[in-house]
Structures are given as structure tokens and as C-alpha cells.
Structure 1
């Protein structure tokens, strides 16, 4: 049995949390806020028609944007409420309820590999500590030989950047670029956010 993620522990403690999260982003979108920064970065990394895995897709804002940009998108999240919102708000991608620590897309009939695996929204920090290395290993396993993983999360969330990069190295992934924001600002020792672009 895989250890429950911090996200699902929060949902268990507050059953309305997922619905609040969905409505929060719907309200932000309705207010015209820019919610597509992560998607723009990923879109710039690939040509049209790329295969993209949105790992920890939440209610689908990133994967939905990439689908509309012309990519083949599969989104995975452990929370069925978030997947239901993704299906409603962003039709087109294939949305799947699954734990990233047990990710096996061929078992869902989904061909591999992917040109990019992206994980935004602090997903890495919500992973159960005992599953972090395995999640990164599975992300690496779903990549094409020349594919890249783009993983972003904040500092102070219990997953030190150094430990994350050690897990990535153990999975055979090395940094191409380390950024401190999704709008391409360079990573520094005192950065409070990391966007890691990784490849084999």
C-alpha cells in the first residue's frame, strides 16, 4: 500500500477542500487572471503535436491549454474531484485518476513515451515523502529518450531542492536548466521556487 499523499490527507481532513480548489481557479479564470504561464513554457519547448503528460494535473488548466495549442495531452491526478472538473472544464485531453507513485499508463491503454512530462502547482511537495523517489523514477520511465521533465515547486514545503535533485539523478535525470520562476528567471541559491528542466 502506497503512503497517502499530503493532498489526500488534506482532503480527508476537509472533504470540501477539492471543491474549494476547483472553484478558486474557476473564479480566477473568470476574473481574467493569467493562469497559463506554466503551459506557455512547456509549449515553447516542443513542436506542434507533441505528446505531453500532465502529472498531478489538478482541474486541468495546464493540460487544457496545451491541448488547445495542438498537443496530445494526458492528465493524471489522484483526486477524482479534480479530474471530474478537468473533464468538465477542459474536454479533449485524456484525464485519469491515478496515484503518481503507481503510474502505469500502458495499463490504462495509453501509448508511450511522452515528449514532456510536466508537474506544476507544487505537486512534488504534496507527494508522500516515502514516494518521492519512486514518482520521479516513474516520470523518467514515461519519457521518450530525448524527452524532458519540467517539475516546479516551492521551497519550505518539506521537500528540499537538494533532495529533489538527488532523486532526479537517481532516476537518471540531469538538469538542463534550473529556473526560479515559470517565466524563465534564473535559479539562485536563495530562490524560493524551483522549476527544473530535466533530461536523460
Structure 2
């Protein structure tokens, strides 16, 4: 009985079909470094590719221009290490959230990148809108969870404005750490958590 001819082995997809994760990570790291070094205005795909040690085609296979790249890395930075706290009290949840936001904003690259992007957003509405989506929206979902838990515990009214919670909690941190770059004194986060909780009219349960 004749043997069936061996079936040809399939080749793994190549080129655009495969995006190596290590290359993507190298490009993201290069974007961070370029933003911190030369700023958004002078950053280019060519500079990013050169710093990452890849060809420009590798960058364009992942992002169509420099704006989507920047938004991608800023979104990752904004959400980095941000927990969805559930400590059992609104005060505790706000305190955990403030600690996480402060840690992100103290990141050396964030301290260099965010002021530059904020300046660019004043001149470019597209960047302003995209930056808001990248930074604020990543934190809004966490604020929604904090409010939802507080409402369930009877600490907040069901009609509490989530955006107000986020403004009260994170606004002072952005002002001090990003805009005026003033170090946080001892006890600042605890005091800000207490002030935020009080401003929201929360019922102060035992902590």
C-alpha cells in the first residue's frame, strides 16, 4: 500500500502578521526617552526608531503617527499601578487612590513629559482631547468604583458626581506635582483624603 505524500509544513506568518512584543516594548521605552529629552514637538518616528534600534517600518506597523504612540505610552503611565481600592471606607479608598496617583506623578519621566504635553495641548486641540481621554478616562473608571462602593455602604448619595470626586481627589496632586512641582509635606495625602471625604459630604464611619 502506497504511503500518502507528506503534507507541506505551514510556515509561521511573517512580516506585518507578527508583532514581536520585545520590539513593541523597546519602541515604547524609546518614546518615553524622546519625550523626556526633546519633547513632543521635536520627537519624530525616525528618532524613536533610531533610539529603539529598529527600522521605521516597525514603528509604523504598530502606530500610524507619533500622536497615537504618545497617547499609548501616556495611557500606560496614567494607569500604571493604579488599584481599584476597596478598604471598607470612603476615606480609606480615597487615601489608597491618592497614594497611587502621587506615585505615578512622581515618576521622573512623568514629571518631564506631562508639562510638555500640557503645553502642546494648549496649541493643539487634538492633543488636548486625546490627552484628556488617555489620562482622565483611565482614572475615571477607578473613581466610579470608589463611588459605587461608598454608595453601597451608605457613605455617599447615589447621585454623587464621579467627575467631582476625581477633581477633588486628584486635582491638588496634579497642581503640586506637575504644574508647580512642589514636594508633598508629611501628612499631605492623609489630609487631602480627609478633606476630599468631608467635601463630598460623606458620613464619617469609624476608620
The bucket for the TM-score relative to the shorter chain is: under 0.3
Structure of higher RCO (CA pairs closer than 8 Å, 6+ residues apart): 2
Bigger proportion of residues as strand: 1
Normalising by the residue count of structure 2, what TM-score does the alignment of the two structures yield? 0.25
TM-score by length of 1: 0.26
More helix by share: 2
